[in-house]
Chain A
Amino acid sequence: MHIAIPLSLRLRVQRSPLVLSVAALLVTLLAALPLGYMLLRTWNVTPGVWGRLWHGQIPGLLENTIWLVITTIGFTLIIGVVAAWLVERTDLPGRSIWRWLLALPLAIPAYVAAICWIILLRRGGLVEAAAINMFDLPRGQLPLPRIYNLTGATLVIGLSVFPYVYLPVAASLRSLDRTLEEAARISGHGPWQTFRRITLPLIAPAAAAGALLVSLYVLSDFGTVAMLRYRTFTVAIFQQFTGQIDRSGASILSFVLIGLTLPLLIGEAWASQRMRRTTRAAAWRPVQIVRLRLFGRWLACAAIAMLVLLSSGIPLLVLGGLSVQGIFFPTRVDQIWGINSQGLWQTGLGSLIVAAAAATLATLLSFAPALLATRYPGRLSGLLLGVSKSAFALPGIIAGLALVLLFNRWVPFIYGTIMMMIIGFALRLLPQAVATNEAALRRVGPSLEQAARVMGCRPVTVFRRVTLPIAAPGIAASWALIFITGMKELPMAIMLRPPGFDTLSVRIWAAASESVHTQAAPAAFVLIVLTLLTLLLLMGRSQVGLDRVLHEHN
């Protein structure tokens, strides 16, 4: 009788993960479903289709996609590292303002930025119109920079995602141990040698992690490259599926794109591990600030201001200007606010409903793997967590394609309903929800839960009365972040939306694909305003800086 009680307790401890493990396994399978289904389909494709594509489209697509990845990595690395160094390590004026202005581009979807640049720079765009007005130039004579090419795509995407590099590099420069640089100086190295041999290697893992996120983004981006008419895999998959209704071809192209993504994903895991290794938990002094001379100060300030202007200033000005114009000059309402019968507010409501429902569903599902991994660490739970998290790298266009095919084949009764859109979005958001909720749950110390268990609470009661209330702020933040991702999601919205149902992103896409880009402005503006409002609400709640919030969000 003496050992009966501890034994039964032990059994109870073991039983609850069993239920949880099954749930976590199911959720993980769900998260991996789109990927698995695409791979399965590729397996069944006849070799002839393979050969046709391999000798036809694929070489050109590979060339285009890989070039875009390389140039964007190079561009974002340069501006991200230089901006981080100037803001964190020099006496640049206004550093605290630049710090969050440089994170702002993350609130503006790249495809929205692309639309703004198109509105400005295309033939008949704002710049040409202004030039004709002011200098009385004949139409078509003004030399405009060409944006429908590799350079345009690189610049637009790079300016939109450079915070992926800037934020981790800035954080690692801030947390850099000053004594390491001092030790290098004492060891006989001058300032430049110290930077090259100590500072640079120490921020390299952060820069590499950022560059990998950039490259994963470039591979998955659909809206920007489609609008800038630069053919990468995502554009080709979309055309193959919607234009030619060639499912096998689309599957094969998806397979090749997944193949490109995989090494980057492994690299990302490696880089984040390396970052963990180099973080030091020692008493550190704040790093030394480099004093710029007068000329250097102004030059640096101008460079940072230019970066902010190009990355978030111009998109916001263009969208805001066009939206205001639409409101105050009713003669142009038809042109600006679109000819679609459905009003903008209805569209906005559609976006809100889908994103909110999907975010809620994804949050609920994500508890199983996140809880299992944080409370019962082990090989299995780690694997489930890893798989369910890494599904984020699957480009949205492929996930959308897989879900369209799946729903059509297996659950045709909800095909073409809002339900399908919500479930699809939830599956798309699930990996991100798992990652952010895991972080939120990790902040609840296991000893609190053990204390509740000892006081006689059953595991479910512990979760309800202890874990959930403590983790609630983190979970709310996580919900808000995936909600924003849902609002921005483009390719999946295009593929899954029921006929007659619009979201903001669909409206933007529709306007852009009909080459009436100005009509996209109000929807894009509302989208950005809603995103920023959610983020500001989040900031007020969690007492953290915008850069942190924005970065965790991505």
Chain B
Amino acid sequence: MNITKPAIDICNLRKAYSAEVVAVRDVSLQIQRGTLVALLGPSGCGKSTTLRLIAGLETPDAGEIWLEDECVAGPRSWVPPEARRVGMVFQDYALFPHLTTYKNVAFPLSGKGNRMHQRHVQAMLDMVGMATLGERYPHQLSGGQQQRVALARALVAQPAVVLLDEPFSNLDAALRKSMRTEVREILRAAGTTTIFVTHDQEEAFSIADLVVVMFDGQVMQHGRPQDIYVQPATREVASFVGETNFLPGYAQETSVECVLGRLPLAVPTHGPVDILVRPEMLLLQPDPQGAGRVEQVTFFGHDQLLQLRLNNGLHLHARTLMRLDLSPGVPVQIGVQGPVIAYPYVNRNGLHQYEASNIETRR
């Protein structure tokens, strides 16, 4: 009887905008109190709709949503958004243009007739580092400042759940990185259960405790960021969360035979497979007798991306530190670091072993 109830419990949620457009097919999720969750997926995968369903901005066609032991949406119950005790940061922040920063943050408290909230609002502004800018109007704030205000407004009423819809997409690249860590620290300090939506895997990995990958209205995988990256459940998830090389191979229990030799398998399996090799798993060594040669080098600074062509015609992508000075044409020997993941072979065009175009890369 000591099991803690999840802060958010979603069962078989479904939302269709029309017969053809099904935004959320069948989503079930349980999120423990205090967790920071990222809903990750390509645009149109239903992640934003899921968030809006939790907020009460959309009504589900089927399924239930429970927030802290209360069924807020289900076949027989409906709680309007204003009664759900959630906070939300919108993609464009949705700060009220006719209210000052202070009044924007105080807004969620004002409906409750609480006259003692002045200090609380000020404390919130302190927490997000906006204490001195309370009298400014939203249009007088920079993008990062607007986001801080939006965050303070979402947290001020001490909601059970905070929802963030693509919170960093309106910031420029440099600001985005610094705001990520800052927002994470603020949310940790507040200790709330948080769900944020993003299509940027780097953002999801660097902030969240738990990543939920969605494709086509369904949850494909959820787990720690490390697990998602190292052991993606499907080829699609693998491609979405990082750069990939897929190589044909034949699995025999704990190892797999492929063009790069016999490699250990992370999960035992058997039969024809496609194995996933991340570019940074490839170890290169200049060697006149090597199995391939460098075709193209893209230099990034701290590392470089190499396009390799194996002697049998297969292309591979490798990411190495810049210390290794390789120029196009150099023959290299190729090794693999660590165990690999195998996916059941899907017959696409009859070829399997050593087919030439079997590479998928995503940056």
Tell me whether B81 and A186 are in contact (CB under 8 A).
Answer: yes
Q: A198 CA to B82 CA in the complex, in Å?
A: 14
Tell me whether B83 and A188 are in contact (CB under 8 A).
Answer: yes
Known A186-B88, A188-B111: A280·B97 in contact at CB below 8 Å: yes
Tell me whether A283 and B82 are in contact (CB under 8 A).
Answer: no
A185-B82, A186-B55, A186-B108 are known; give 16 further A-B pairs, CB within 8 A. A179-B90, A182-B55, A182-B88, A183-B90, A183-B94, A184-B96, A184-B107, A185-B80, A187-B82, A187-B108, A187-B153, A188-B83, A188-B157, A190-B80, A204-B98, A277-B97
Sample 21 A-B pairs with CB under 8 A, ordered by A number. A179-B91, A180-B94, A182-B90, A183-B88, A183-B153, A186-B55, A186-B154, A187-B108, A187-B153, A188-B83, A193-B111, A201-B98, A202-B96, A202-B97, A202-B98, A204-B98, A277-B139, A278-B97, A278-B98, A280-B92, A284-B92
7 closest cross-chain pairs (CB), A and B: A187-B108, A282-B92, A179-B94, A183-B94, A185-B81, A278-B97, A179-B90
Q: Tell yes or no: A95 within 8 A of B by CB.
A: no
Q: What residues of A have a CB within 8 angstroms of the CB of B107 in the complex?
A: 184, 187
Q: Tell yes or no: A247 within 8 A of B by CB.
A: no
Q: What residues of A have a CB within 8 angstroms of the CB of B137 in the complex?
A: 277
Q: A198 CA to B99 CA in the complex, in Å?
A: 9
Interface residues of A in 189-247 (CB under 8 A from B): 189-190, 193, 198, 201-202, 204
Q: A324 CA to B142 CA in the complex, in Å?
A: 64
Q: Tell yes or no: A502 within 8 A of B by CB.
A: no
Interface residues of A in 146-195 (CB under 8 A from B): 177, 179-180, 182-190, 193
Q: Tell yes or no: B87 within 8 A of A by CB.
A: yes
Q: What residues of B have a CB within 8 angstroms of the CB of A284 in the complex?
A: 92
* Contact residues of B: prevailing secondary structure: loop
Q: What residues of A have a CB within 8 angstroms of the CB of B98 in the complex?
A: 201-202, 204, 278
Q: Tell yes or no: B283 within 8 A of A by CB.
A: no
Q: What residues of A have a CB within 8 angstroms of the CB of B57 in the complex?
A: 182, 185-186
Q: A361 CA to B199 CA in the complex, in Å?
A: 58
Bin the interface of chain B by size: 20 to 34
Q: What residues of B have a CB within 8 angstroms of the CB of A193 in the complex?
A: 111
Tell me whether B96 and A198 are in contact (CB under 8 A).
Answer: yes
Q: What residues of A have a CB within 8 angstroms of the CB of B139 in the complex?
A: 277
State how many angstroms separate the Cβ of A288 from the closest Cβ of chain B. Answer: 9
Q: Tell yes or no: B112 within 8 A of A by CB.
A: yes
Interface residues of A (CB under 8 A from B): 177, 179-180, 182-190, 193, 198, 201-202, 204, 277-278, 280, 282-284
Interface residues of B in 81-121 (CB under 8 A from A): 81-84, 86-88, 90-92, 94, 96-98, 107-108, 111-112
Q: What residues of A have a CB within 8 angstroms of the CB of B153 in the complex?
A: 183, 187
Q: A193 CA to B107 CA in the complex, in Å?
A: 12
Q: What residues of B have a CB within 8 angstroms of the CB of A189 in the complex?
A: 82, 111
Q: A536 CA to B195 CA in the complex, in Å?
A: 53
Tell me whether A186 and B87 are in contact (CB under 8 A).
Answer: yes
Q: What residues of A have a CB within 8 angstroms of the CB of B154 in the complex?
A: 186
Q: A467 CA to B98 CA in the complex, in Å?
A: 38
Q: What residues of A have a CB within 8 angstroms of the CB of B91 in the complex?
A: 179, 283
Q: A184 CA to B97 CA in the complex, in Å?
A: 13
Q: A179 CA to B166 CA in the complex, in Å?
A: 14
Q: A202 CA to B94 CA in the complex, in Å?
A: 13
Q: A392 CA to B98 CA in the complex, in Å?
A: 30
Q: What residues of B have a CB within 8 angstroms of the CB of A201 in the complex?
A: 98
Q: A203 CA to B56 CA in the complex, in Å?
A: 25
State how many angstroms separate the Cβ of B103 from the closest Cβ of chain A. Answer: 10
State how many angstroms separate the Cβ of B195 from the closest Cβ of chain A. Answer: 14
Q: A277 CA to B157 CA in the complex, in Å?
A: 28
Nearest-CB residue, chain B, relative to A276 = B139
Q: A490 CA to B86 CA in the complex, in Å?
A: 60
Tell me whether A177 and B82 are in contact (CB under 8 A).
Answer: no
Nearest-CB residue, chain A, relative to B165 = A179
Q: A202 CA to B87 CA in the complex, in Å?
A: 22
State how many angstroms separate the Cβ of A179 from the closest Cβ of chain B. Answer: 4
Known A201-B98, A278-B97: A187·B90 in contact at CB below 8 Å: no
